[in-house]
Amino acid sequence: MSTVEERKALVQEVLEAYPAKAKKSRSKHLNVTEENASDCGVKSNKKSVPGVMTTRGCAYAGAKGVVWGPVKDMIHLSHGPVGCGYYSWSGRRNYYVGTTGVDTFGTMQFTSDFQERDIVFGGDKKLTKLLKEVDELFPLSQGTTIESECPVGLIGDDIEAVAKKHAKETNKPVVPVRCEGFRGVSQSLGHHIANDTVRDWVLPKADEYRKLPEGFEPGPYDVNIIGDYNIGGDAWPSRRLLEAIGLRVICQFSGDGTFNEVVMTPLAKMNLIHCYRSMNYICRFMEEKYEIPWLEYNFFGPSQIAKSLRKIAAQFDETIQAKAEQVIAEHQERMDQIVEKYRSRLEGKEVMMMVGGLRPRHVIPAFEDLGMKVIGTGYEFGHGDDYKRTADYVGEGTVIYDDVSGFEFEELAKQMKPDLIAAGIKEKYVFQKMALPFRQMHSWDYSGPYHGYEGFEVFARDMDMAINNPTWGLVQAPWQD
Amino acid sequence: MTENTNPQVPENAGQPGKIQDHFELFQTDTYQDLFAYKRQFEGAHDPELITQTAEWTKTWEYREKNFEREALTINPAKACQPLGSLFVASGFEGTLPYSHGSQGCVAYFRTHLTRNYKEPFQAVSSSMTEDAAVFGGLNNMKQGLQNSYELYKPKMIALCTTCMAEVIGDDIGSYVTTTKNEGMIPEDLPVPAAHTPSFVGSHITGYDNMLVSILKTLTKDKKAEATNGKFNFNLGFDPYVGNIREMKRILGLFGIDYTILSDNSDTFDSPNTGEFKMYNGLTTLEEAGDSINAEGTFFFQKYTTPKTQELITKEWDQKTYNFRPFGIKGTDEFLMALSAITGKAIPQELQDERGRAVDAMTDSQAWIHGKRVALYGDPDHVFGITQFLLEMGAEPVHIVVTNSNPDFEAELREVLTNSPYGQEATIWGKKDLWHLRSLMFTEPVDLLIGNSYGKYLWRDTKTPLVRIGYPIFDRHHMHRYATLGYQGAINQFNWIVNTILDELDRQTNIPAKTDISFDLIR
């Protein structure tokens, strides 16, 4: 049997464990890529099957944890009971520069800590009072976003009215975000909802809110970095590269971003988007409304960095193009050294990945730069357009799993025996107990950055550390066969 | 406008083998310049104003404003109910924790527990979405129970609710019955179901609610004529797996037959054998069912488990006991009572350990006597640490308990009042860690005891932090140690005194300035 056939049989075997109805649903989310396929051939962005142990989170996680949370000089209120804010408190390593508790608030948790009476009588009065308390205690905050949790949407609170009133009274932005956890099927709708609040509550008043840098004149090279959340500092090497080729980054949305940067966005000539899944909505809107074009790029690994820099530079003039070539050339020797050092240790190693909405495709070339091969990949919350894009990245025989269940992932890994699994914290220790090397691909396992040239060095080092970790050799006791 | 710095390759480039990750990279001039350049786009405040405001947050004036808060909670030291439910359920044999409601919650619970223990934590959800909000979650639960049973083959499914299911009023008890009646899961599969709304109580409440439901389910029709001669022990929401193991060792030394309700020590610390084992709960369903016939039940966290204790006292008609075997006196009281109740003498080995623990404490006591301490955490957790501090002559000053209750406060206040070292203490019930920040700036202390979230207070106030509590995300392996019994006293004391000594070194390490007191021998 060919690899494709073998793996198709394996997928069928895994599906056998499900009851009929679940099997039918799940079978549409698993596939094996065939030669020259233009798509991965899986359904996506559908409801998770109950009880199978999905890895997905909720709309709140997407809106608060991903899109709005990293905007560092605003207060992001987890509106509802205490848990959502507690569990997501400082969980995502969105690095930022600032004095926490004074002019920035990223690693703090703000909650309305709903009690039974708030459920019974509604939480709007509490919210009104709470917003005043925020202003009193944090005068340097640049605004507030209200991320509503499940109960808020079920009890009929009107957070929009409260937000509008308070914003009017204080002349500071207050953004209500209807990201109750039951909305949609994953984090993904939360991204969309949060994007929509930028469209509806922020951009219409951008001119009024904007504080221009002294002597600022819009220029031909002004760009926004969109959809880089600065995990372990990712956005900074990216910004460095863009500035090194002569562009002027006027906004990072949202990693290490500020409210002012959000309202700077309409002044840019181009939106450069890294995480397409979570931020394409606002890019599309800005294209329509302000005629700002957008371009996807990939700053994982030297091959894609060079390709992306050239693609970006091609949108501008020859000065930029020349500088891009210069920047690529400047890094070549160092990258060659890194690849030479690590490739010998990683050549031919096989990887299975499962991450959120971007990395399951974007990181593949970085592994390939190190001589590694991705044999399985899938998204927690990707959509059809993500899988379409993924087809360009994966080779024949790659197993594709959408919204993979714990059971499926374990069974596939047991049979496919990869040398490395790259997924999230919930999966990490399952596979490490199987003595399978693992790296977290959401948080970079507390390392990073992984974006840009400097990031690739760290990436290479980390993958080597995981795979060639000497403790794997200790798992089997010497007296066992 | 400052001109674009056209940032150059950071300094490390070209040095083979030298890779800079976030710790070093962003300290290089290249990135420091990049941050400075970026700042002009940020609409940032004047640095002078930021400094002034930062200083203002340290004042009494700010403290007063901060304590006037009625609606806003900042950095609370509590989680929500289902976390405790999953935690207790996972200690039972073959048990799959199941969270009925939206699916995001269970992703958070699993993440939180996993980050603390660096262990897998498996739990499932009903994955309810908008249609379930309208029509109820019955269909989700039926499918969820069937799928999880078929895939993961649990011996018990321990079901709790999220706030979504509670607000829409899902009747979980009858849903489980319906699922069974329709043959989707076996009739005899135990499926305890607990209401655990996040807008009531905290994670300790959820622990209690789930345990009541599990015990009711498993002990149904199990009441026998005679007792089984065993004693039950419940440690509450105690994050230290070392405590369960230490407890079992102590009971082994006594020769007492026991059941731990619930024993999740292997759940959160399983061996790496190269094979992933999904279920590691050590309390068998049979033992748990038979716990109704025990001679009595010991509770170590009375404010975590009031409902469970009531069930066992009233419905099971069993004797229950409350002890806090933490520190020397707390352990003494427990061991004496255990000896009196069981009629077995206190083993010599434990008596020797006591002597060693007291000896060790005496050796280091001078470094901690009179130290002012701030601490926070769950009621019983804080109670145990406070007692221990008092017996070492340390002075608790700020005691913050976000998930407090009046009975707890009254009981702890009495202990503080009766100790010469407790006179400076205030119990700050229902307050959070932002309140504590104000307290620590206006009335400084020498030491802070709390979980990892305390590191922000450490950074801001420069007060050394001893990590005891849950969660501890930024230090490894703490949960493997015992804090219970005489051994636990030594462990806690070790952490405390060596934190103080480390801090002294940090304060005395500037050559020709502070290093006069940089002593080799302390």
- Up-side HSE of residue A200: CA atoms within 13 Å toward CB? 13
Chain B partners of A49 at a C-beta cutoff of 8 Å?
127, 143, 147
Interface of A with B in 26-85 (CB under 8 A): 47-61, 73, 80-84
Q: Which residue on chain B is closest to A425 by alpha carbon?
A: B111
**Does the distance separating the beta carbons of A47 and B272 come in below 8 Å?**
no
8 Å CB contact between B389 and B373: yes
> Tell me, what's the ipTM?
0.98
User: Using the 8-state DSSP alphabet, how is residue B314 labeled?
Assistant: I
Distance from CA of A112 to the nearest CA of B (A): 5
A3-54+332-480 in CATH: which number? 3.40.50.1980
Contacts of B457 (CB under 8 A, 6+ apart): B433, B436, B437, B440, B448, B450, B463, B465
For residue B274, give the nearest of A213, A331, A475 by CB distance.
Answer: A475
Residue B8, pLDDT score: 75
Chain A partners of B186 at a C-beta cutoff of 8 Å?
none
Q: How far is CA A252 from the centre of its chain?
A: 14
Distance CA A298, CA A282 (A): 19
Nearest to A58 by CA among B135, B86, B143, B102: B102
The neighbouring-strand residues paired with B124 are B98
**pTM here?**
0.98
Residue B7, pLDDT score: 73
Distance from CA of B514 to the nearest CA of A (A): 28
Q: Which residue on chain B is closest to A435 by alpha carbon?
A: B274
Chain A partners of B102 at a C-beta cutoff of 8 Å?
58, 150, 181-182
Residue B5, pLDDT score: 66
**Amino acid found at B7:** P
Summary mean pLDDT of chain B: 97
**Does the distance separating the beta carbons of A82 and B198 come in below 8 Å?**
yes
For residue A54, give the nearest of B42, B103, B105 by CB distance.
Answer: B103
Dihedral of CA atoms B252, B254, B258, B261 in degrees, nearest 10, equals -80
A59-184 belongs to which CATH class?
alpha beta
Q: Is A344 on the interface with B (CB under 8 A)?
A: no
Contacts of B153 (CB under 8 A, 6+ apart): B94
Fold of A222-326: Rossmann fold (3.40.50)
Contacts of A153 (CB under 8 A, 6+ apart): A178, A180, A182, A183, B133
**Band of pLDDT at residue B6, cut at 50, 70 and 90:** low
Average pLDDT of span B2-24 = 77
Chain A partners of B119 at a C-beta cutoff of 8 Å?
429
**Does the distance separating the beta carbons of B200 and A51 come in below 8 Å?**
no
Distance from CA of B54 to the nearest CA of A (A): 6
Q: Which residue on chain B is closest to A88 by alpha carbon?
A: B108
Residue B12, pLDDT score: 65
Chain B partners of A96 at a C-beta cutoff of 8 Å?
none
Q: What is the DSSP string of B286-298?
A: HHHHHGGGSSEEE
Tokens 């002019």 correspond to what residue?
A103
**Does the distance separating the beta carbons of B108 and A83 come in below 8 Å?**
yes
What is the side-by-side order of every strand in the sheet holding B156-161?
Answer: B124-125, B95-100, B156-161, B193-194
Tokens 């999905």 correspond to what residue?
A54
**Whether the predicted pLDDT of B22 surpasses 70:** yes
Q: What is the DSSP string of A364-395?
A: HHHHHHTT-EEEEE-BSS--HHHHHHHHTT--
The neighbouring-strand residues paired with A271 are A224, A294
Distance CA B318, CA B314 (A): 7
**Band of pLDDT at residue B4, cut at 50, 70 and 90:** confident
Q: Which residues in chain A show pLDDT less than 50?
A: none
User: Using the 8-state DSSP alphabet, how is residue A432 labeled?
Assistant: H
Interface test with A, best of B199, B270, B479 (most A CBs within 10 A): B199
Chain B partners of A434 at a C-beta cutoff of 8 Å?
274-276
**Amino acid found at B53:** T
Q: Which residue on chain B is closest to A406 by alpha carbon?
A: B122
Distance CA B128, CA A351 (A): 32
Q: Which residue on chain A is closest to B56 by alpha carbon?
A: A102
**Does the distance separating the beta carbons of B167 and A154 come in below 8 Å?**
yes
Q: Is A429 on the interface with B (CB under 8 A)?
A: yes
Query: Under DSSP, is residue B151 helix (H, G, I), strand (E, B) or coil?
Result: helix
8 Å CB contact between B392 and B493: yes
8 Å CB contact between A106 and B48: no
Please report which residue ranges of A103-149 form alpha helices under DSSP H.
Answer: 116-121, 124-137
Percent of chain B with pLDDT over 90: 97
| Residue B366 Ramachandran class (φ > 0 left, ψ -120 to 50 alpha, else beta) | alpha
8 Å CB contact between B114 and A433: no
**Does the distance separating the beta carbons of B78 and A86 come in below 8 Å?**
yes
Residue B13, pLDDT score: 57
Distance CA B272, CA B279 (A): 14
Is the Cα torsion angle B90, B92, B93, B99 positive or negative in sign?
negative
Interface of A with B in 263-292 (CB under 8 A): 264
**Band of pLDDT at residue B109, cut at 50, 70 and 90:** very high
Q: How far is CA B250 from CA A201, B92, B140, B325, in A?
A: 62, 21, 45, 11
As annotated, the residues of chain A forming the CATH 3.40.50.1980 domain(s) are 3-54+332-480, 59-184, 222-326
Backbone angles phi, psi at B197, to 5 degrees: -65, 140
For residue A134, give the nearest of B72, B111, B168 by CB distance.
Answer: B72
Query: Under DSSP, is residue B498 helix (H, G, I), strand (E, B) or coil?
Result: helix
Tokens 């109960």 correspond to what residue?
A151
**Beta strands of A133-241 (E only): which ranges?**
144-148, 174-177, 222-228
Chain A partners of B165 at a C-beta cutoff of 8 Å?
none
Average pLDDT of span B51-70 = 98
Note the pLDDT tens digit of each residue in A399-408. 999 999 999 9
Note the pLDDT tens digit of each residue in B220-275. 999 999 999 999 999 999 999 999 999 999 999 999 999 999 999 999 999 999 99
CB atoms within 10 A of CB A291: 8
Average pLDDT of span B43-62 = 98
**Beta strands of B459-511 (E only): which ranges?**
465-467
**Whether the predicted pLDDT of B120 surpasses 60:** yes
Active-site hit among B106, B163, B191, B401:
B163
Q: How far is CA B277 from CA A432, A472, B248, in A?
A: 11, 18, 23
Residue B3, pLDDT score: 75
Query: Under DSSP, is residue A297 helix (H, G, I), strand (E, B) or coil?
Result: coil
